Amino acid sequence: MKRRLVLTVATVTTGVVIWGGATSQGVPWRAAQADPDTSPMAGINSRTFRSAGYQVTPPSADDRKAAVVSRDEAVTTVLHHGQDTYPGPDAKVREAVLVDVSDSLGFHCLCWAVSVLPTRGIWSHAGPAGNTQGRARGDYSVWFVDASTGEALRTLEGNLEP
């Protein structure tokens, strides 16, 4: 009984020491837990946007008033983008959210972020010669549609960051 008690105390102590060390050293899994995702989109996290060089945040109440293009209009713009076959009128809309988008090169807009699954899927469009790793498949495709003009500005797509 006494031996079992000693063993239990030792196990708990070891666990506390390891946990404390991990916390003080900023071990990645602790840091990840302490870094709540601030993405306004359910399916695309902030790390993915940052990886692509973008900051995507919820708009302020004042900014929202500047949106003259409706969500439905933005979705229609994406699905019927000119005569494009991409993403295609049969693409599946995953979500459409009003966001503030900016990058460090001066791009900024109040945009509808329309996340879609294109009819022909999400694929890398070009890669290096001699590529032996096969065709790269993406996880997400999000279109930024200007909420003031209704113009499709950019599409960002690729793989989600874990």
What's the one-letter identity of residue 13? T
29 binds other proteins (CB under 8 A): no
Which residues contact residue 69 at a Cβ distance below 8 angstroms, ignoring those fewer than 6 apart?
112, 145, 146, 147, 148, 149, 150
Which 75-94 residues touch other proteins, going by CB under 8 A? 81-86
Asked whether position 53 contacts other proteins by CB under 8 A, the answer is: yes
Please tell me what DSSP assigns to residue 3. H
Residue with Cβ nearer other proteins (1 or 105): 105
Taking the C-alpha atoms of residue 53 and residue 73, their distance in angstroms, rounded to an integer, is 27
User: CB of 37 within 8 A of CB of 45?
Assistant: yes
Q: Look-up: residue for tokens 């791009």? A: 107
Contact between 105 and other proteins by CB under 8 A: the answer reads: yes
What string marks each residue from 120 to 159 as x (binds other proteins by CB under 8 A) or -? ----xxxxxxxxxxxxxxx------------xxxxxxxxx
Determine, following the binding rule CB under 8 A, whether residue 33 of this chain makes contact with other proteins: no
Positions that interact with other proteins (CB under 8 A): 48, 51-53, 81-86, 103-105, 124-138, 151-159, 161-162
